[in-house]
């Protein structure tokens, strides 16, 4: 019987395997993944589509990773149910895998709304390697695409398709793109750059129907927007968002909200059962509460914390927050924490916008502590700002400098620099 069983072998699963092996070099580990080769970088699937990376470059661990770590890799297998009192996982062929400690690292799945015609050939979601490979197989004959959703995934797939020479229309229900991470000003700056690259952006609407070709209704030929406009296209990509894949714990005593509830050691509400990554609601140090934060480095760290605790080494998750560092169509963007507060009157918002240089700097403060940062084009101080934010530093004395072009380490009082960067003052 494996001592440790991990369902899901991406960022969180890999983090857990490495942490367990650090503490317990011999305890048996079984990893279950419904993907055949799960150890690839999911954020890089758009690079595969754009042609920037091949499969080899996308691998985040070598092929021999499981073997080298003496793991029983049950890849291409789906965990279908859990029996938490008798401590086993049931797989797709009805076989059981017993465990002493279990980690659920099942990640997220794409949210697919009901759209008439979404079963047609040429409609894709975009979260897995096989989604990217299926799309690639259609690209040679495709000239145009409609991307539904202008969040992080929607914009990255749009950029990849533009690089492949397709004409793309991005459709977004909100009135601005990237509305979860950017305020209207920053969003408009990015929109302008994307439009210049030839992309049509249709905001405030969505796709109500996907239509087929007159000669073969099963193959996509266009998308009808809620405005009634019909956009001709060969491909439709549904990139509305990702929801936690919690179905495995449905009906068990593992408590869920939007994701699985965990404590700081990544334990769920059931003994010996842990959860990490996109499937879990982990601690956000800006909000001071647990939230969904679907980010690769956080998933990996959460997996690591779970792995240590599963193997008997006490570890606490330090917390993370929403953080996106992007370069879309050549424009660098950083968004951290509460970048666009819904109730702005409760915050102090410092902004410097230089439209002529396409530069935007914004810091959001609560009680003189930075809780949100947005940088467009000028991103060089993101590290210092994040450090101040993560350490909850009171920035009252130099807050006006935060959005200045001259802001740098030297802006910080010497005593604060010494405290934050002790290595520099040895």
Ligand X SMILES: Cc1cc2nc3c(=O)[nH]c(=O)nc-3n(C[C@H](O)[C@H](O)[C@H](O)COP(=O)(O)OP(=O)(O)OC[C@H]3O[C@@H](n4cnc5c(N)ncnc54)[C@H](O)[C@@H]3O)c2cc1C
Residues in the site for ligand X, rule: CB under 6 A? 7-8, 10-13, 32-35, 38, 42-43, 45-46, 78-79, 105-108, 126-127, 153, 156, 245, 248, 277-278, 294-297, 299
Contact (Cβ atoms closer than 8 angstroms) between residue 420 and residue 391: yes
Q: Which is nearer to ligand X, 66 or 407 (CB)?
A: 66
Q: Which is nearer to ligand X, 39 or 221 (CB)?
A: 39
Work out how close the CB of 418 gets to ligand X at its nearest, in angstroms, rounded to a whole number. Answer: 31
Q: Which is nearer to ligand X, 169 or 321 (CB)?
A: 321
Which CA distances in Å does 387 have to 208, 269, 376?
44, 32, 19
Q: Which is nearer to ligand X, 150 or 211 (CB)?
A: 150
Residue 291 CA from chain centroid, whole number? 13
Contacts of residue 42, defined as CB under 8 A and 6 or more positions apart, other chains included, come to 10, 11, 127, 128, 129, 296
Work out how close the CB of 312 gets to ligand X at its nearest, in angstroms, rounded to a whole number. Answer: 23
In degrees, rounded to 5, the angle at the alpha carbon of residue 174 between the alpha carbons of residues 169 and 176 is 70
Work out how close the CB of 207 gets to ligand X at its nearest, in angstroms, rounded to a whole number. Answer: 19
Tokens of 265: 């050691």
**What SS3 class is residue 308?**
helix
For 400, which DSSP code? G
Work out how close the CB of 32 gets to ligand X at its nearest, in angstroms, rounded to a whole number. Answer: 5
Work out how close the CB of 342 gets to ligand X at its nearest, in angstroms, rounded to a whole number. Answer: 23
Q: Which is nearer to ligand X, 32 or 210 (CB)?
A: 32
Burial 208-229 (b: 16+ CB within 10 A, else e): eebbbeeeeeeebbbbbbeeee
Work out how close the CB of 10 gets to ligand X at its nearest, in angstroms, rounded to a whole number. Answer: 3
Work out how close the CB of 34 gets to ligand X at its nearest, in angstroms, rounded to a whole number. Answer: 4
In whole angstroms, what is the distance from residue 124 CA to residue 163 CA? 18
Contacts of 364-369 with C-beta under 8 Å, sequence gap 24+, read 364/337, 364/338, 364/339, 365/395, 365/399, 368/394, 368/395, 368/396, 368/399, 369/393, 369/394, 369/395
Q: What is the largest CA-CA distance in the chain?
A: 75
Q: Which is nearer to ligand X, 129 or 220 (CB)?
A: 129
Q: Which is nearer to ligand X, 11 or 199 (CB)?
A: 11
């Amino acid at each position: 019987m494996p001592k440790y069983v991990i369902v899901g072998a991406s960022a969180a699963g890999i983090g857990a395997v490495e942490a367990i092996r650090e503490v317990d070099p011999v305890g048996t580990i079984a990893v279950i993944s419904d993907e055949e080769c799960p150890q690839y970088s999911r954020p890089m699937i758009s690079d595969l589509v754009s042609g920037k990376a091949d499969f080899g470059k996308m691998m985040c661990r070598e092929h021999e990773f499981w073997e080298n770590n003496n793991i029983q890799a049950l890849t291409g297998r789906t965990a279908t149910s859990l029996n938490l009192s008798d401590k086993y996982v049931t797989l797709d062929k009805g076989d059981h895998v017993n465990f002493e400690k279990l980690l659920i690292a099942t990640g997220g799945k794409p949210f697919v709304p009901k759209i008439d015609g979404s079963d047609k050939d040429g409609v894709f979601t975009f979260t897995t390697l096989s989604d990217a490979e299926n799309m690639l197989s259609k690209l040679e004959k495709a000239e145009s695409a409609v991307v539904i959703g202008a969040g992080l995934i929607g914009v990255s797939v749009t950029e990849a398709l533009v690089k492949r020479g397709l004409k793309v229309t991005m459709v977004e229900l909100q009135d601005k793109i990237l509305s979860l991470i950017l305020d209207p000003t920053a969003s408009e700056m990015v929109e302008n750059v994307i439009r210049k690259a030839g992309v049509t952006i249709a905001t405030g609407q969505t796709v109500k129907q996907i239509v087929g070709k007159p000669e073969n209704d099963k193959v996509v030929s266009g998308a009808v927007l809620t405005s009634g406009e019909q956009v001709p296209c060969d491909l439709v990509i549904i990139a509305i968002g990702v929801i936690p894949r919690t179905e495995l714990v449905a009906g068990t005593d593992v408590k869920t909200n939007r994701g699985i509830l965990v404590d700081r050691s990544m334990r769920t509400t059931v003994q010996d059962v842990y959860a990490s990554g996109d499937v879990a609601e982990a601690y956000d140090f800006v909000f001071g509460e647990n939230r969904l934060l679907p980010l690769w480095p956080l998933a990996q760290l959460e997996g690591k914390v779970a792995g240590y605790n599963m193997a008997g080494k006490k570890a606490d998750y330090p917390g993370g927050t929403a953080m996106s560092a992007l370069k879309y169509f050549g424009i660098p963007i950083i968004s951290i924490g509460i970048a666009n507060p819904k109730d702005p009157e409760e915050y102090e918002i410092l902004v410097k916008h230089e439209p002529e240089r396409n530069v935007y700097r914004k810091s959001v403060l609560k009680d003189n502590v930075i809780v949100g940062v947005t940088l467009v084009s000028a991103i060089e101080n993101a590290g210092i700002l994040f450090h101040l934010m993560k350490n909850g530093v009171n920035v009252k004395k130099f807050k006006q400098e935060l959005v200045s072009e001259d802001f740098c380490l030297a802006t910080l009082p010497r005593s604060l620099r010494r405290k934050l960067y002790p290595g520099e003052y040895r």
